[in-house]
Amino acid sequence: MNGNELGFSCPLPLQKYERILTAHGGGGLLSRQLIEELFLPAFDNPLLRSLHDGAVFSAGGRLAFTTDSYVVSPIFFPGGDIGELAVNGTVNDLAMCGAQPLYLSVGMILEEGLLMEELIRVVRSMQRAAEKAGVTIVTGDTKVVERGKGDKIFINTSGIGVVPAGRDVAAANCRPGDRIILSADIGRHGAAIMAAREGLEFESAIQSDTAPLNGLVEAMFQASAEIRMLRDPTRGGLSSALNEIAQSAGLGIVIDESQIPIQESVRSVCEILGLDPLYMANEGALIAVVSPQATDAVLEAMRKHPQGVGAAVIGAMTEEHSDRVLLQTAFGKRILDMISGEQLPRIC
């Protein structure tokens, strides 16, 4: 693999080092080479090109700011990798605030001995993800820890975005009777990671659903401003995210099990491993609480977007059993609790 194959203008000196060395994080010549020959060509823009300690920029209106760290194992998995996941995760956290993501920072903690080829693959993936989401990576940092003190690569991404005037996404806005819309089938990211870890193979390979959701959110707001609340069901899955919404809103939620889309291959992984798909992580799905009057228009807009083709109304907010989520099954209703403990470690 060389720089041209990767699409970078990546001269040979970086390629002399097959693996990451401690000196790549030491702030000296090798650190400079890593920045100038890998990170800068991949994420090139005027703000980053200044190589300042931070980025200075103008942004009007209300701002949203978020940060998250990514420690997923394995770093490459069916349907994605840690780099794409880091960019999409932060873009989606901003989008769930109703914000239009603008700028990201990237902090990398690399383990000595990491193959340079693997780092280049991750950086290129982040480059593609940022371009797809329409965000710009404007600042970053790199540290290298000794061999055995990390697990190849950990990534922290922070992001900032602008919330358009008149847009207010908050649990406090939820009202009894509001509909709960789920944008896609659930459990694919968690199932893809677990299948990769356990070496499970299925006729229909499970791919992570990692994707940016900011485009979908914009399409939803173009359909109606009556979107009360947004949440992406990542760690803890659909069940935990719904419980967070119910508790923050001080209302109850009832969802219909038959309306929740789940792929058969995901069900199979869950049955084999004794896991519940309602608690499996998702990285390309969102939950929206929408007023009854706006539900049809928002649902129609979602289904026209690639990330919302499978959108469905799965339930509603209610005044009864506040702070609780009830699951309507073929055999009656049962309480759907927030996840207890950690079902899947190192999932994102």
The 10s digit of each residue's pLDDT in 176-202 is: 999 999 999 999 999 999 888 887 766
* 33 pLDDT tier (thresholds 50, 70, 90): confident
Report the alpha-carbon distance of residue 13 to residue 36 in Å, rounded: 11
Lowest mean pLDDT among 4-13, 34-43, 160-169, 172-181: 4-13
Contact 259, 196 (CB under 8 A): no
Cβ neighbour number for residue 48 with a 10 Å cutoff? 22
- Taking residues 253-279, report their average pLDDT: 94
Pick from 179, 157, 207: nearest CA to 43: 157
The more confidently predicted of residues 197 and 228 is 228
- Inter-residue contact 249 to 318 (CB < 8 Å): no
Q: Edge-to-edge strand order for the sheet containing 227-231?
A: 227-231, 287-290, 179-182, 312-318, 252-256, 325-329, 332-335
**pLDDT one-digit tens code per residue, 36-60:** 899 999 999 998 988 877 788 777 7
Residue with tokens 């908050």: 170
Do 80 and 199 contact (CB within 8 A), yes or no? no
Alpha carbons within 13 angstroms on the beta-carbon side of residue 137 total 29
Phi, psi of 308 (to 5 degrees): -130, 15
pLDDT confidence of 5, banded at 50, 70, 90? very low
pLDDT for the residue numbered 59: 75
Q: What is the pLDDT of residue 4?
A: 46
pTM for the whole structure? 0.91
Give the relative orientation of helices 188-198 and 264-273 as an angle to the nearest 10 degrees.
50
Q: Are 260 and 306 in contact (CB under 8 A)?
A: no
Please count the other Cβ atoms lying within 10 Å of the Cβ belonging to residue 204: 10
> Which segments of the chain does DSSP mark as H helices, in order?
3-6, 12-15, 29-34, 40-43, 46-49, 82-95, 116-133, 188-198, 214-223, 237-249, 264-273, 295-303
